[in-house]
Amino acid sequence: MAGHPAVEEPSAARSAHEGILRRQSARESAARTYARALPIVPVRARGLTIEGADGRRYLDCLSGAGTLALGHNHPVVLDAIRKVLDSGAPLHVLDLATPVKDAFTTELFRTLPPGLADHARVQFCGPAGTDAVEAAFKLVRAATGRNGMLAFAGAYHGMTSGALEASGDALDVRVARLPYPQDYRCPFGVGGPHGAELAARWTQSILDDPKSGVPLPAGMILEPVQGEGGVLPAPDEWMRRMRQITADRSIPLIADEVQTGVGRTGAFWAVEHSGITPDVMVLSKAIGGSLPLAVIVYRDDLDVWEPGAHAGTFRGNQLAMAAGTATMAYVRENDLTARAATLGARMLNQLRSLAREFPVIGDVRGRGLMIGVEMVEAEGERAGEGRAGGANDADRSAGLCTDGPSNAGGASAAVTPGAVPSPRPASPELATAVQRECLRRGLIVELGGRHASVVRLLPPLTITDEQVTAVLDRLADAVAAVARSHGPGGGRHQQQHRRRGGSGGEGAG
């Protein structure tokens, strides 16, 4: 813990912690994920704070991969769970009606975009987000009698086979993949409104060209902000274009709000930013208030399913429904969506200042409390070898992307006048180093993005101003440490950071 006061760790606690980690790596699958990058053993948690078996405390900006809208163990969630337990209600009821489920559906429908709320149906699915994605595909295939699906480059929809087919790293003939608009690594090399317009035109031409090789699909699935894909907020105008293109061709539009839902992006559902009404919404994570729950909601005229067409044993998790009802109601009643918008804007601003200090930060982007910091190779390392074009300043200032990139430091200097600057190559190594340095400073962050080069922040919507400051201090300190150890191109003001020393320590803010 160089430069940071380590908490005195009782040796018994330390060895219990190490024993658990050792047994985990000896017994659990090689496919384990978060556990590799985050060798901690959580034993207690409250709000933003997790305490490990070794006594160390962390600020948790992973939040169960964006699940914990209210942070860990929020009192209203615990109360709701206790009430069900104390009431003697059955905990397992398949898909039978219960008062708990009735209250959940009422609260959920209350939040839906107006165009959907009046005509909505809900299907309770198996408990994971990926189960709901499968259900959505099955529903639109049944409703349209068609088979193919449109999805977007960089998408992440889950790990079951249909969801995987629609995600970025799979190949399947039933899924046609389209360009998702992004400024920093725009596939067309222009970014901004122009890049988004080209992406929309590409989609339209695929659908209208009888020789495109893409037959009329059963549906289009999109994330309003790509999360795992690197925190890419879709421009509102592009969202409206997708709505128009699909509506004109009777293609059901599926919004995957598994990660963006329940206030995270500064609107209760992220589709509200653009004002569109999707035909199907895929919901999970935060709607279960930290317990497993997944549903699809959709327009009732798509409800062509026969009884039993989509079944499953675990579709009636009463505790999750109670926790989810309490979470959604709390977010709504306390206007945490507005809070997420305000805090997110503040965090983006400060992170953009940090990016101006440290050229290893290529881009800062996000919406609400869904924030990404893309790490790139430092100046001097392979300068001028950027892979994709970045947006020029005119495009950026035109503002199609609400929270588009702002960091000129991320673009290679080797650009001819008038040409679009190319971003430097993504650096998964630096991102991993930042994640590690954050952990040393008591901050948990996730990595994502095409090249696993994006440091992701998904704090709970209940995070306080002081905690935001502590999170940003620790992150800044971690970036400074990484830039320092990566040579002279890493940071412009490393001395300043070295002197300041960040918030450090293990105590949660």
Q: Give the footprint of ligand PMP on this chain (CB under 6 A).
A: 65, 128-130, 133, 156-158, 223, 227-228, 256, 258-259, 284
Least distance from ligand PMP to the Cβ atom of residue 378, Å? 30
Helix 236-248 vs helix 192-208: crossing angle, to nearest 10: 10
**Which residue number places its CB atom closest to ligand PMP?**
129
The one-character DSSP state at 489 is T
**CB-nearer residue toward ligand PMP: 50 or 291:** 291
**CB-nearer residue toward ligand PMP: 128 or 482:** 128
Least distance from ligand PMP to the Cβ atom of residue 409, Å? 29
**CB-nearer residue toward ligand PMP: 223 or 473:** 223
d(CA 435, CA 443): 8
Least distance from ligand PMP to the Cβ atom of residue 499, Å? 39
Least distance from ligand PMP to the Cβ atom of residue 131, Å? 7
**CB-nearer residue toward ligand PMP: 124 or 156:** 156
Least distance from ligand PMP to the Cβ atom of residue 151, Å? 11
Helix (H) or strand (E) holding 122: strand 120-124
**CB-nearer residue toward ligand PMP: 20 or 170:** 170
Helix (H) or strand (E) holding 23: helix 11-27
Least distance from ligand PMP to the Cβ atom of residue 392, Å? 30
Least distance from ligand PMP to the Cβ atom of residue 413, Å? 35
Least distance from ligand PMP to the Cβ atom of residue 170, Å? 14
Residues 232/179, Cβ–Cβ less than 8 Å: no
Q: Where are the beta strands (DSSP E) in 218-367?
A: 219-222, 225-226, 232-233, 253-256, 280-283, 295-299, 361-367
The one-character DSSP state at 94 is T
**CB-nearer residue toward ligand PMP: 190 or 225:** 225
**CB-nearer residue toward ligand PMP: 54 or 228:** 228
Owner of token pair 């992220």? 270
User: Given CA atoms 145, 256, 363, 338 in this order, what sign does their dihedral have?
Assistant: positive
- Those residues with Cβ within 8 angstroms of residue 84's Cβ, 6 or more apart along the chain or in another chain: 91, 100, 318, 319, 322
**CB-nearer residue toward ligand PMP: 316 or 386:** 316
| Long-range contacts, stretch 38-43, CB < 8 angstroms, 24+ apart | 38/62, 38/439, 38/444, 40/439, 40/444, 41/17
Least distance from ligand PMP to the Cβ atom of residue 443, Å? 20
d(CA 269, CA 396): 25
Least distance from ligand PMP to the Cβ atom of residue 130, Å? 3
Q: In 3D, which of 294, 423, 446, 430 has the Cα closest to residue 363?
A: 423
- DSSP secondary structure string for all residues of 394-421: HHHHHTSSTT----GGGB-S---TTSPP
**CB-nearer residue toward ligand PMP: 159 or 414:** 159
**CB-nearer residue toward ligand PMP: 361 or 458:** 458
The one-character DSSP state at 73 is T
Q: Strand pairing partners for 130?
A: none
Residues 508/45, Cβ–Cβ less than 8 Å: no
